[in-house]
Structure formats: structure tokens, C-alpha cells
Structure 1
Amino acid sequence: MTAYPEATDDGTDRIQAAWRRELPGVPVGSIGVITRMWRLGQLLADDRRRTLERLGVDNPTLDLLSTLRRSGPPYRLTPGQIAARSFVTAGAVSQRIARAEAAGLVRRERSAADGRSAVVALTDEGRELNERVVADLLRHEETLLDGLDDAQRATLAGLLKTLLADLTQRFGAEDRPSAIS
């Protein structure tokens, strides 16, 4: 059994206590959750940016390639399908496609269904890059959870899933964040 580090003082409890003292009667319980989640989000975003830089790809390109790869063979989607599946605007998708096409990672094709609409297809180079990067990224991110045992991971994943579903419903579908890998 792996020994996990004890939770250290991250300053959040002191912030919460100070606001409780300074604004009595104002609910401050969310600070213990939201502040830590925000700080974790910043740490994870910075780590992912550095990791992807080391792996030779940026976040938007990985998102595009991953969206196409997860669609299954023949790894083709319309720009509208890409936008819906990656939760970004059509304009952002268009820019991502143009950059990835210039790099030889995707190609635009005419739809076989009607010959008028376009589909975006993952090239062999794009598929190979995506598979290498996702494998390396997920192996790395697995190590970020070494401080939690399997039961803790399952509990945390379940709680985050519940919170995300609730906030997504309350904020609306258009405010959903992008899913990268």
C-alpha cells in the first residue's frame, strides 16, 4: 500500500476563516471547495500546457485531432459536428482546421452523401500524432493522481461528475468547457 502525504495547510482554510470573521452571516463554505478547485484547475492547466509543449502540440490542435479520433473510423466529421463535440464555436473550429490542415494533420473532403458539404478527415500523420500525444499525456496525468487511492479517485470522480452535471444544467449547454483528450 502506498503512503499518501498528509494534507498540508494550503491557505484556503485561513482565507475562509478570515471571511467568516470579516463578514459574519455571509456563507463562506464554498471557499473550501471552489477555491481549491480553482487552484487545482490552474495547476492542471499549467501542467497540461507544459506537457503538450514538450510533446509538440498545442491544446486546440489536440482537441481537434482527439475529437476526430474518438469519432471512430473513418475519422471524419463535419465542422458542425466537430464544434458540437468539442464545445467550441464554429469560428474557432474553422481556425483549428486551417492550422491542422496546413500542418498536414487533417484534410477537407467533399461529403460522399451530397457532394456539396465538407467533412474534415484525420490524416495518417494526424492520427499517429494524436495517438502518441494522448498516450503520453494520459500516462503523465495518471501520475498526477498518485496521491489518491482507487476508492478516493472513484469518490472524487463521482462528486465532480455530479457537480459538473448540476452546473452545466444551470449554466446552459453553451457554457460547457472544452473536452481535450
Structure 2
Amino acid sequence: MEDEVDRLVVAWQRERPDLDVAPMQVLSRISRLAVHLDRARREAFADHGLETSDFDVLSALRRAGSPYQLSPGLLVQQTLVTSGTMTHRVDRLVSKGFVERLPDPADRRGVLVRLTDAGRSAVDGAFGALLDREQRLLADLDADTTGLVADALRTLSLPFDATVPRPSRPS
């Protein structure tokens, strides 16, 4: 079997035999798969009235566990966006009724962002739809191959993850 990346690699090897194009075998495939995954994510989220950025915030709150709330600072850490971007996202989610801002009892000047019942329903539905689409994307892989791919990608991503600050658990 030959895919588009195989054809690209052969063409580059022909045109630039002086360069080692071996990284393209892995990274071009990851890039192409990312496009397909992004499309699947957008479709799954749109079916539940969410943008990808909405899902990122709502899923961070959902994963926090009951009472499904985090400080804006922890949301920034977990979603890797600026505080200004987070403010905009939270404002949009408040207007949709998916989150609410509450005073932080531990810090009189602080606020907490809490998932509403509507937000929980939206993120749970979107997450289920996303998993369905992701399972279809991986349908041609058996469990052993899926594990091998996951292990290889983990090895590849660990050095990058090491440069990202780890969020602390909310109190």
C-alpha cells in the first residue's frame, strides 16, 4: 500500500537526494492525521453547539471533578492560551449558559469558573460524539497496533510535554 506521504517522499528524494527526508515518513503523516482529527473534532463539537475552544475549556472543568470549577489561571495552564484569550472564552461560555463565574472563597479578589448543568450536558455529549468519531478513525487498527502507535507517539511527545508547566490540582 502507498499513501500520499510515500509519494511526497519519493518526489523529494528525487528532487533533493542530498537531504534525508526520513522524518517526513512520521511527521508528515502526523500532520495529515491532525487535519482529519481536527475535522472530526469540529463536527462532533458543532453537533453540540460548541467550538473547539469551547470544548477545551468545558472539558478542563469537567475533568476537574465535582464541583467542576477552576480558577482562570488553572484554565490558562490547562488549555495553553493567554489570560486574555481565556477571558474571551469564558465570556462566550457564560453568554451561552455553559459556565458561571463565582467568587473564590479562598481569595476575595479571585473568581472561579464553574460548569453549569447545561455546560456539563454539552461537554458530555460532545465528548461521546468525539470518541465515536475517533474510534472510526482508528477502526483499521487492532488493539495491539493501537497500543504500539500510542506508545511511539508518547515517546515522541514526552520531550515537548516536559517544557509545559504542569497545572496544580484545585483546592
Shared fold, TM over 0.5: yes
Instruction: Name 1:131's counterpart in structure 2.
Output: 124
Q: How many pairs does the alignment contain?
A: 165
- Picking from 57, 68, 78, the partner of 2:61 is 68
Q: State the Cα deviation string for residues 75-96 of structure 1 (Å, max 9, x = none).
A: 1111001010111111111111
RMSD of Structure 2 on Structure 1 (CA): 1.6
Matches within 5 A, 1:45-84: 45-84=38-77
Q: CA deviation at 1:44?
A: 1.3
Instruction: Name 1:101's counterpart in structure 2.
Output: 94
Instruction: Name 2:164's counterpart in structure 1.
Output: 173
Q: Does 1:144 align with 2:129?
A: no
- Picking from 5, 29, 34, the partner of 1:12 is 5
Q: Does 1:38 align with 2:31?
A: yes
What's the TM-score once normalised by structure 1's chain length?
Answer: 0.84
Moved over 6 A (4+): none
- Picking from 14, 37, 52, the partner of 1:21 is 14
Q: State the Cα deviation string for residues 90-141 of structure 1 (Å, max 9, x = none).
A: 1111111000001111111111113221111111111122112212221232
Which stretches in structure 1 are left out of the alignment for 5+ residues? 1-7, 175-181
What's the TM-score once normalised by structure 2's chain length?
Answer: 0.89
- Contact 2:40 2:134 survives alignment (8 Å): no
Percent of matched pairs sharing the same residue = 35
